[in-house]
Amino acid sequence: MPQNDIVNKNIVSQRDVFLLIIFKVVLCIFVLAGYYVIMKILAIDPGYERVGVAMLKKTASGSGGEKLIYSDCFKTSAKLAFTERLYLIGEEIERIIKKYKPKAFAIEKLYFNTNQKTATMVSEARGVFIYIALKNKLKIFEYTPLQIKAAVCGDGRGDKKQIITMVKKLIKINKLIKYDDEYDAIAVGIACFASERNF
C-alpha cells in the first residue's frame, strides 16, 4: 500500500476518534443540563388586602431540595378603591414574574367561609393572578387547603401553627416573616413540588 494512503487513513482515523470524543462530551453536557435544570415556581396565597408570595426552586434531579429564592407579603391600603387594589396586586405579581422568570404558577383554591363578600373579592383577586400567569405563559397549578396541609404536614387536618412549624423544617428561611400569608404561599410552593414531577 502506498505510503500516502497509510498516512491519509491514519489522519481520517484520528479525526474520527476526535469527533467521537467531542460528540460524547457534548452529549454529556446536554444530559447534565437536563438533569440539573432549575425548576422555579411562583406560589401565591391569594388575597387583595394581603397577598402571600413565594418563589421557590429546585433541580429536576431533586438532589438539591427546594430552596426559597424570594418571599413577601404584599399589602394594599383599605383607603384605595377595590379596583385599584386589584390593579396593584396584578402589577406586583407581573413585576415578580419578570424579575425571577418562573416556569410554573401555584395558587391556593378558594375556601369559602361565612363571609361571602370577602370570598367574592378574593375570587376576583385570584382571577387577576391567574390572568397574569397565563399572560406570561406559566403553567397553572391549583391546590385546595386540604391538599396543601397534606403535602406540608402529612395530614390534611393540620392547623396554621403546624403549617408554619413544618414549613420552617422543610425549607430554609433566612428572614423574619411577620404575616402568615407569606408562610402560606411557601406552603403552596412546597405542595406544588411534592405533587408535580414535570412542568
Q: Which residues are catalytic?
A: 45, 108, 181
Nearest residue to 126 via CA among 77, 118, 150, 157: 118
Beta-bridged to residue 58, according to DSSP, are: 39
Alpha-carbon radius of gyration of the chain: 24
* Residue 156 DSSP class: T
- Phi, psi for residue 88 in degrees, rounded to 5: -65, -40
Q: What are the cell numbers at 73? A: 407579603
Is-contact 72 177, C-beta < 8 A? Answer: no
**How many CB atoms neighbour CB 149 within 10 A?**
22
